[in-house]
Amino acid sequence: MSKVRVLVGTRKGAFILSADGKREKWDVSGPHFAGWELYHLKGSPVDPNRIYASQSSGWFGQIVQHSNDGGKTWEAVGNKFVYDGVPGTHQWYDGTAHPWEFKRVWHLEPSLTDPDTVYAGVEDAALFLSKDGGQNWQELSGLRGHGSGPHWQPGAGGMCLHSIIQDPGNSERMFIAISAAGAFRTDDAGKTWQPINRGLNSPHIPDPTAEVGHCVHHLAMHSSRPNVLFMQKHWDVLRTDNAGDSWQEISGNLPSDFGFVIDVHAHEPETIYVVPIKSDSEHFTPDGKLRVYRSRTCGNEWEALTKGLPQADCYVNVLRDAMAVDSLDECGVYFGTTGGQVYASADAGDTWAAIVRDFPAVLSVEVQTLQ
């Protein structure tokens, strides 16, 4: 019988939640790396026992761990992230030039074909690659070398590279996104990159339709339609149907077009999920109601999913890497909150239940579907 394993990164450690295909009874393992910030954990799609974890601390810096047994045991691997060449400067919050400095790994994206190959999206924004299970890291510096790097600037959370999406049908193509620079695409396996932000409109920046400078919060793609990407931006939910050459807004009837997460149903590439958040200064759920919104039409028309979620006095956030879907026949949807709850739906969002309610603030949620 199929099983699911939910990998949860929090402000104070990692947790692994396991259940059978019914997704009703959960076993909780952890905290792993207690007291450390776990920005992201993700398993290899070709070897689910290989899991990578980004562990960091303001005191002790960045650690990368990997597991070869599904998260039962861990091994610290390489943590030497050195920018290629002279890294130069990007814009600081006040518009002045600021030297590029490595701070942490926000996102680890294992290769679609090799469990020892993994990408790391880091702050200050850059993309690194390891081909030996995380022991050694090399920057794919063509991204920063695109030429627009001096104009990138940090979002409120830092200048992070947070989204990494590999095209399953084209090993040369990959998409990434940076807050606050925008989305980029490579068509030559990371050697060169182009910004793909045409159609984005950000009225809070000096040139609202600039080539770079947009605060993209997250990207999502369905593997069957690699030219269709979905984006949650600082404001606006958007879709591209041509691999980022142009974007159109699909916020439609959402109560707030601000948010962080966005994800796609495992079997219905036109069904997408977001969690609207009230901004700009509050960053919690509108009206004290925790609502996932689902569109079955690639956006524009959205329905609130509320059954099992608190609809009063709830003021949490759902951070950009804190939603995931499983690939069981009835698609499961999962998300974690800054209030420490991890919610699961075993029926594509129709009904929800909390797996746990009292974790530290949740930074990331990923799901593995196991046979």
Q: Which is nearer to another protein, 60 or 93 (CB)?
A: 60
- At closest approach, how far in Å is the CB of 129 from another protein? 18
Q: How far is the CB of 81 from another protein (least distance, A)?
A: 8
Q: What count of residues does the chain have?
A: 371
Q: Which is nearer to another protein, 76 or 97 (CB)?
A: 76
Q: Which CB atom, from 19 or from 118, has the smaller least distance to another protein?
A: 118
- The SS3 call for residue 187 is coil
Shortest Cβ distance from residue 214 to another protein (Å)? 31
Q: Identify which of residues 82 and 97 has a Cβ nearer to another protein in the complex.
A: 82
- What is the smallest separation between the CB atom of 239 and another protein, expressed in angstroms? 39
Taken in order 93, 89, 84, 112, the sign of the CA dihedral is positive
Residues 6+ apart with CB under 8 A from 103: 62, 122, 123, 124, 158
Rounded Cα distance between 162 and 177, Å, is 6
Toward another protein, which CB reaches closer, 34 or 97? 34
- Report, in Å, the least distance between residue 60 CB and another protein: 4
Euclidean distance between CA atoms 41 and 319, whole angstroms: 14
- Of 54 and 295, the one with the shorter C-beta distance to another protein is 54
Kindly state the smallest distance separating residue 84's Cβ from another protein, in Å. Answer: 13
Gap between the Cα atoms of 164 and 185, Å rounded: 10
Task: Name the minimum Å distance from CB 79 to another protein.
Answer: 5
User: At a CB cut-off of 8 Å and minimum separation 6, what does 100 contact?
Assistant: 83, 87, 88, 89, 90, 124, 126, 144, 149
C-alpha span between 370 and 304 (Å, rounded) = 30
Query: Least distance in Å: CB of 156 to another protein?
Result: 18
Give the separation between CA 142 and CA 335, rounded to whole angstroms.
Answer: 33
Query: Nearer Cβ to another protein, position 35 or 208?
Result: 35
Report the nearest approach of another protein to the CB of residue 285 (Å): 23
Q: How far is 152 from 211, CA to CA, in rounded Å?
A: 11
CA distance 288 to 316: 8
Q: Tell me which residues touch another protein (CB under 8 A).
A: 33-36, 57-63, 76, 79-80, 82
Rounded to whole angstroms, how far apart are CA atoms 362 and 53? 14
Q: Give the HSE-up count for residue 332: Cα atoms under 13 Å, Cβ half-sphere.
A: 27
Closest to another protein by CB, 13 vs 213, is: 13
Residues near 345 by Cβ (< 8 Å), separated by ≥ 6?
A: 292, 305, 308, 332, 333, 334, 351, 352, 353
Q: Which residue number, 16 or 346, has a Cβ lying nearer to another protein? A: 16
Buried b (16+ CB within 10 A) or exposed e, 229-268: bbbbbbbbbbbbeebbeebebbbeebbbbbbbbbbbbbee
